[in-house]
Amino acid sequence: MNQLEVIKIWGENAGTDLETTVQYVSDNQNNPQVLVVSAMRSEDLDFNTTDKLKLVAQYLTENNLLEADDVFNSIINFHIEALKKQSADFLIPEIREIFLSISESFESNIWVELSNENDFTIDVFWKPESLLWLWEKISALVHTRLLEKSWVNAEMVDMENIIINKNQDYREVVIKYFIIEISRILSEWKVPVVWGFIANIPGGILENINRGYTDATASIVALSQKENYEKIRLNIFKSVDWILWVDPRLFPKGSKINLISRMDYLTARELTGGSIWWKAKFLHEYALSQDIMDAWVELKIMDPKKPNLWTTVSAEKNTLSHWVEIVNKRDGISFVRITKAAFSEGIGDVQKIFDIVKSKWFSIDMITTSETQVSFSLDVNNQDDLDNLKSTLINKFFNNKVSNIDYVDIQRNMSLIHCIWQNLDHEYQLSLAYGILALEKENIKIHTFWWEREKGAIIFAVEQKDAINSLQILAKQFNLVKEINEI
């Protein structure tokens, strides 16, 4: 089959475990492959190259050359140590030379305003060089050289040649560049190695895309080749146990929690940024863009150290699934309940409420309405902010004339519990709803209840102190956890 494998790596697979990635690419040469790499990282999450880089930029802006050099040297040392540990010493002279050319230019860049908006760009011997893309470029160079050492033909894609003007759509520009450049390299039977940083985005990549820009680049790579291949799969390497039914950190050690083998696009989007903006970390929303879904790109989330286990995200539902697939929670939620004798008689009342919330820069998640009540959840838990919102609603909406009938009530320290299913019949859906309501027998009060039948989700609220207990009871009730020593 004419299939392209796009491989996006992050975390230790791009930093302290380079060999696993190189071995995976070497073992899977039956299909054409593109490797998209992020900056090299340490297993120790306290060492993050991007954060260190921002410190360097800050010190240069403050004319603190000594501190800038110290931080920069720590990054150099990390790269050198990582290469030594993985028998890649032959790369050290080349990498050291690149680093030294950058550090030698620091003195001519002091007092320059460096920020996210210009991607911390400095002048390196009269040539603009983004400190941010430097890490990605070095990572791509390292992977290219290691692939070549393993007898895999590879070529690094030069991202510096991508020029994006202020009024251009960067995705469109990058796709056009990749169509030509990546297609050329693939036609020569090589593995294109793409650094995850998209160069020269006006306003800066962190400001436009945030930290998930490697996912964004990988998705653009996949889209650029959709006309050339019958099937495209975006393999996303993660140092995690794929996508599980429930968060394993909420259960005793020894609990067996199975992975979800297949998930459809909409369920994945619900987790990564759906109606309640869940923001699960396993995928960046760019990897689930409408373009990706329209092109039927298949996503495969896996740990390359465990190549026989993965979660697939595609247009297809899991046909074997007839139960709740995911139960999880989000803490730090507050609920606003506004009661008025007759909402239906006041034209524009609901809009007025939302305008007030918007003026406070709060984001509304879930909404329920009736003839006398509007309730919604906020991802806000600060008491002062909530008191200010309440007084503003009373003042502007009720003109300070509140009563037992017309009032504003806000509950804080709440959690949303999210149950997602696929292919459930009506009888099972009802049993799930009854099971959730039965939590009240455990002295867990259900405060608000949403049933999104079309999206395959039930969402409800409990007090934060009851959230973990609620999850554990539901997981046991619906067999999401197969073996539990104790709950």
pLDDT at position 277 is: 41
**Considering the domain boundaries, does residue 270 fall inside one?**
no
Separation of alpha carbons 25 and 107, rounded Å: 41
**Considering the domain boundaries, does residue 460 fall inside one?**
yes
Structural domains in the chain (count): 2
pLDDT at position 471 is: 83
**Considering the domain boundaries, does residue 234 fall inside one?**
yes
Q: Are residues 233 and 338 in the same domain?
A: no
Domain endpoint, select from 220, 239, 258? 239
Q: Are residues 345 and 209 in the same domain?
A: no
Q: Are residues 188 and 85 in the same domain?
A: yes
Domain endpoint, select from 193, 221, 239? 239
83 with 95: CB under 8 angstroms?
yes
**Considering the domain boundaries, does residue 264 fall inside one?**
no
Q: Are residues 341 and 229 in the same domain?
A: no
Collect the ranges in the chain with pLDDT lower than 70: 1, 10-16, 41-48, 203-212, 239-242, 245-248, 252, 254, 258, 270-282, 285, 319-323, 344-346, 422-424, 452-455, 481-487
Q: Are residues 231 and 328 in the same domain?
A: no
pLDDT at position 70 is: 92
pTM of the model: 0.74
Separation of alpha carbons 403 and 401, rounded Å: 7
Domain endpoint, select from 239, 263, 278? 239
**Considering the domain boundaries, does residue 288 fall inside one?**
no
The residue written with tokens 């804080």 in the block is 412
Instruction: Give the sheet arrangement for strand 449-452, strand by strand.
Output: 364-369, 373-378, 324-339, 407-421, 457-463, 449-452
Question: In 249-306, where does DSSP find H-type helix?
Answer: 265-273, 290-294
Expressed as residue numbers, the domain containing 156 is 3-239
Give the CATH number, domain containing residue 402: 3.30.2130.10
pLDDT at position 272 is: 66
Q: Are residues 52 and 163 in the same domain?
A: yes
pLDDT at position 136 is: 83
pLDDT at position 287 is: 77
Q: Are residues 459 and 353 in the same domain?
A: yes
Q: Are residues 11 and 104 in the same domain?
A: yes
Q: Are residues 220 and 348 in the same domain?
A: no
**Considering the domain boundaries, does residue 247 fall inside one?**
no
**Considering the domain boundaries, does residue 187 fall inside one?**
yes
Q: Are residues 232 and 336 in the same domain?
A: no
Q: Are strands 407-421 and 457-463 parallel, antiparallel or unpaired?
A: antiparallel
**Considering the domain boundaries, does residue 299 fall inside one?**
no
Give the CATH number, domain containing residue 67: 3.40.1160.10
pLDDT at position 25 is: 86
